[in-house]
Every structure is written in C-alpha cells, then in structure tokens.
Amino acid sequence: MTADDVRRPDLLVLVCGTGTEVGKTWVAAETMRLLRARGTKVSARKLAQSFAPGEAPTDAEALGEAGGEAPETVCPPHRWYETPMAPPMAADLLGRPTFTVSELVRELIWPGQVAVGLVETAGGVCSPQADDGDATDVARALQPDLVVLVADAGLGTINAVRLALSALGSRRCVVLLNRYNPSNELHARNRRWLVTRDGVDVVCSATELVERLQL
C-alpha cells in the first residue's frame, strides 16, 4: 500500500525539524489550535514516538490535546517507545520488532475528510524514523503537499537549514524559525540571509504558517 491508497487530507503537511528539541510538536500543536479556531477540520499524526518514562506530555498527548483526539489515535500504542532514542533504535533496545517506513505510512488513518493533516517526524530530517529510512524517505513515501521545516533562530541556524533543505530536495518547503525574537539581531539577520541570499520561504510563528497554508 502506498500513500495514494490511503484517504489523504485536502492538504497533507509533513512537519520535520533541523534537529531534536527545536519545537516541532509545539509548532504543530499551535498550528492546529489556530486552524480549529477558524473552523478548519485538522488532524495530526505522529508516526512513532520515543520518550523518557514519566515524561509528560508525550508528543502524541500534546498533539491529541491540540487536535481534540486521543493520543492513541495520534500515534498507535505499539509505536510508543519508552526510551529517548530514535524510534528504531529504541525498538531494538526494548526488544520490540523492527519496522519499515512503508509500515509506518500504512498505519496512517485519518478521521473522515480532513482539511489539513499534519504528520510529525522524530528528531531531525536525517534522523532514523524506521529501520530502512529517515524523514526524507518518509517524505518520499507520503508525497506531502508541503514540508514545514522547524529550526531554531539562533547560532547555527543557516547551516542547519541549508543541510536539511538539501536533504529534502526539491519539495515545497516552508522554514519556521521557532522562538524567533525580532529584536534579536542574530535572529533577524539569520532570517534575512535565508530569505534574500538563499531564497527560502521563512515564517516566524504559527500564525504566519497558517497564512501560508492559504486557508
């Protein structure tokens, strides 16, 4: 089964990051809250999640709260791995079965006709998502309408964004500089460089991202 065999949302958005802890889940959750406030039917899915025992909320819980769905709907319970490593590494450590990108994609089920569906990956763009692939392989399998690349706004931003966009290839991407402070000179210069030198489509808040979705 491919992504085309699964009922797709009207707009399928893949949420990736330049690394771990850049705020992918917060961005996805806030975007959903804003869309729901506009009356847009939105849903999120986490292909697999790994976390430290006792950590709260998990990504699935945060996304579920924002979208009005159960965490177990956002991420199937058998894809919850209770150790903070890349999901396939966590599965191996816990003695659980290996899995592939195609298996993760086949497990995506959307609740009826969804206007905007967000799929969040784990870690950075080149972080393992399954035994046989990273987020670029997920993008290849899903063929999303848009990739949102979440990045920090400070030191290292330009390098991290360039490397991630290069790995993603020619897909339509929007870069969201999370925790952006317009009064911070470095943040402002990073944004300006990416836009004017690299021609990157950059937004600095979930509100701006919603506007990019043209809803």
Active site residues: 46
Q: What is the pTM of this model?
A: 0.94
Question: Quick one: which of 153, 161, 79, 160 has its CA closest to 120?
Answer: 79
User: Alpha-carbon distance 30 to 62, whole Å?
Assistant: 10
The distance of Cα 65 from the centroid of its chain, to the nearest Å, equals 16
C-beta separation of 63 from 32 below 8 A:
yes
Going from the N-terminus, what domains does the chain have, and what CATH number goes with each?
3-212 (3.40.50.300)
Q: Is the dihedral of CA 82, 65, 173, 144 positive or negative?
A: positive
Q: Shortest CA distance to 30 belongs to which of 73, 59, 67?
A: 67
Q: How far apart are CA 57 and CA 71, in angstroms?
A: 10
pLDDT per residue rounded down to tens, the chain (215 residues): 344 445 799 999 999 999 999 999 999 999 999 999 999 999 999 999 999 998 889 999 999 999 999 999 999 999 999 999 999 999 999 999 999 999 999 999 999 889 999 999 999 999 999 999 999 999 999 999 999 999 999 999 999 999 999 999 999 999 999 999 999 999 999 999 999 999 999 999 999 999 998 75
